[in-house]
Amino acid sequence: MTMFRLEEPPPYRLARPPLNQALVQVRFPVETRLASLEGVAPIQEQLGTLFPYLRQQQTQQLALVVSPGSPVAGEAQVTHPWHFTDDSGWTFVLEPGSAALSIGPQYSEFREFSDRFSAITKALHYSSGVQLADRLGVRYVNIAEIPPGDEREWRRWLRPELTGWGGTDIVGDSRVTTSITQTQLAAPPVGDLSGPPADVQAIIRHGVVPANTIVPVGAPQQLQRPAYLIDLDVFVEASQPFEPEELSRQVTVFHDQIDRFFYWALTDEGKAYFGCEVG
């Protein structure tokens, strides 16, 4: 699968990454046993070394829209998911029909992200008997705060193909307070027959967002300062066998496309600003 016609970036790391959250989620037909403590006990036993703490939390799920001013919220739905956590910031949220692994700014490398997801899918498949996956997605949300006193700084971080006319001198002395672009793509899977069973999709959201904006991912949060948002979401929505090795392979492919786009988006000044080290 090739979502973007971009070269693979060299190995690199950012000393000051703008990553706010990395998330991978798999949805599957409802397994009612996962609503009970007895049903999740085998999962906890298998994943106890990775996620030593287990809590059941009441959560209100809201449909929120990233927009200036007051956020628009739909009707709240109350759920009681299981939260598996550790001391390093990792969270695994399990519901009867979905499993999501997330990490915030503590994220260090994709290998650990992938290894933990692989352990989760193996526990679900071999300990709880999950047989089908309905949706698989990888999402990286980057929030780069704009330094106070220089509200045009973000224009130098990112390629003009991304920032558009709002990042040029056409705006004169005006201040860009909000500029959100959303693009959705679909790419047919290619390669061996064990690949994704349908078109792989991507939703790219990016642009300037003002302070007090609600970012609707994971636990919705309110931004304290104006920022530039780059939200990269790659997923496939189709039934496929819940095979841990194949799901992990697809996650690696999705991450590869996200990584290519993010590295391409940064200018040389942007790489320097975020402390990019190659090699």
- DSSP characters for 116-171? HHHHHHHHHHHHH---EEEEEEEEEEEEEEPPTT-TTTHHHHB-HHHHGGGGSGGG
What is the structure's pLDDT at 172? 79
* CA-CA-CA-CA dihedral for 249, 109, 4, 142, to nearest 10: 130
Mean pLDDT check: name the lowest of 70-74, 170-174, 208-212, 221-225.
70-74
Mean pLDDT value across residues 274-278: 96
Kindly tell me if the per-residue pLDDT of 66 is higher than 60: no
Chain segment 23-63, per-residue pLDDT in tens = 999 999 999 999 999 999 999 999 999 999 999 987 655 55
Pull the structure tokens for residue 32: 């009612």
Neighbour order of strands in the sheet with 227-241: 53-56, 82-85, 91-95, 98-103, 19-27, 132-145, 227-241, 200-209, 179-187
Which pLDDT does position 77 carry in this prediction?
58
**Alpha helices by DSSP H, the chain:** 37-47, 110-128, 154-157, 160-163, 244-265, 268-273
Domain ranges of the chain: 12-278
Q: Which residues contact 106 (CB under 8 A, 6 or more apart)?
A: 88, 89, 90
The pTM of the whole model exceeds 0.85: yes
* Range in 118-127, 156-165, 215-224 the model is least confident about: 215-224
Give 68-88 pLDDT, tens digit per residue. 555 555 555 556 899 999 999
pLDDT at 65: 55
pLDDT of residue 60: 58
The partner residues of 24 in beta bridges, in order of sequence, read: 101, 138
- Percent of residues, the chain, with pLDDT higher than 90: 73
pLDDT at 1 over 80: no
Which pLDDT score, from 0 to 100, does residue 217 have? 72
Q: Residue 251: what pLDDT?
A: 97
Q: How far apart are CA 131 and CA 195, in angstroms?
A: 17
Tokens of 138: 């990888």
Give how far the C-alpha of residue 135 lies from the chain's centroid of Cα atoms, to the nearest Å: 14
With a cut of 80, say whether residue 159 has pLDDT above it.
yes
The predicted structure's pLDDT at residue 79: 67
Residue 271, CB-side half-sphere exposure with 13 Å CA sphere = 15
